[in-house]
Amino acid sequence: MERITGDDYYAILGVKKDASEQEINKAYKKLAIKYHPDKNPGEHKELAEENFKKVSEAYEVLSNKEKRQTYDQFGRKGLNGAGMSGGGFSRGQAEEIFAQFFGGQDPFSVLFGQQANGGFAAGGPGAHFAFSTAGGPGMGGMGGMHGMHAGMGGMGGLPPEFAAMMGGMGGMRGMGGMGGMGGKGGGMGGGRRSRAAPEQPSVLPAGTPVCVHSLRGAAQHNGKAGKVEEYDPTSYRYLVNLADGEVLRIKLDNLVQQVTAHVVGMQNRAELNGQKATIAGYDAERDRYHADIAGVGRASLQLSNLILPAGTRGRVHGLTSDSGSKWNDKVGKVMGFDAEAGRYQLQMTADEQLRIKPQNLKL
């Protein structure tokens, strides 16, 4: 394996300086998979990790319109004031970009040949299963396996490094409850779907409309709207279907719920008080929420000027009492707002509630 040398981001990705966004994405995808440390065990792992971090750093800059413009004008030195530390990328930063780029897809499925008929493709052990959710003749109703990519043990199998990265066979998305191989979809009997998990006050429910913000490694997705499909408690990420068809796995910190709230406490624009405002985005630098108000347009508001509806999830912060501080950074479900007391009532667990001021809540 050759070491990536030089510090020209375009050269690192192997693209021209006028490369399009699609060309940059394509180059990153190819190189990130090629150099991912989990694909390169043994003697080449350290070199692969070094290359992987360089590729990730280059992509992080060139995929961001503002950073790319700064880099084109001033080079790497100019990026120190544009959100770059100047100390190189860590493995953790590179992995975060990798996860955000590939979203809910299996990035390593591209390493194997795939056939839509469910058979093995030439030259690789990977299989692309395309069973229908209702099952088929002789399949015993093996529902929930549509579109699953896997290298089945006893059928060639995945190399150990891939099995380790994917967490073994358990919990792979699309696997239909086959004797301990947990996952989404039906089991072995008749293709019936498993019951939905009970709603948790700390988790955004499936179907919640959201907007993406403050992503670093996949900044091209910032501002995009989508809906929550499910929550993965093992990675603390939500699977989000974006309106443009892409699917991402995103932390709650990078999502804002698109709820309709009521405007209150506006002194400089009193005419907005009492109006309904639909949250459409978030400006993390200014800590302001972009809200669309009928007949007015878009306004930039503090959360303390919005009364959130019941069902909204919010994160607690800034509590100082012994009984309250334990809830800081925890997420709860808004049950209502007591206007007289000026307090939200939050459901924190199945049997614990909390009453807090608006300034102690974040979306």
DSSP-H helix ranges across the chain: 9-13, 21-35, 45-62, 65-74, 91-102, 160-165, 322-325
Please provide the average confidence, as pLDDT, over all residues in the chain: 77
Q: What is the pLDDT of residue 40?
A: 84
Residues in the chain: 363
Classify domain 259-307 by CATH number. 2.30.30
* Cα separation, 285 vs 214, whole angstroms: 9
Q: Tell me the backbone φ, ψ of residue 47, rounded to 5 degrees.
A: -65, -40
For the chain, where do the domains classified as CATH 2.30.30.30 start and end? 308-362
Q: What is the pLDDT of residue 103?
A: 62
Q: What interhelical angle do 21-35 and 45-62 show, nearest 10? A: 160
Residue 229, SS3?
Answer: strand
Classify domain 9-109 by CATH number. 1.10.287.110
Q: What is the pLDDT of residue 196?
A: 54
Residue 104 tokens, joined: 């809910």
Classify domain 208-256 by CATH number. 2.30.30
Q: Which CATH number fits domain 308-362: 2.40.128.30, 3.40.50.410, 2.30.30.30, 3.40.50.720?
A: 2.30.30.30
Least confident of 186-195, 265-274, 275-284, 339-348: 186-195
The better pLDDT of the pair 173, 28 is held by 28
* Cα separation, 225 vs 283, whole angstroms: 15
Nearest CA to 204 out of 224, 235, 231 is that of 231
Q: Which element (helix H / strand E) includes 270?
A: none
Q: What is the pLDDT of residue 141?
A: 40
* Cα separation, 101 vs 103, whole angstroms: 6
pTM above 0.85, yes or no: no
pLDDT band at 163 (very low <50, low <70, confident <90, very high): very low
Q: What is the pLDDT of residue 107?
A: 61
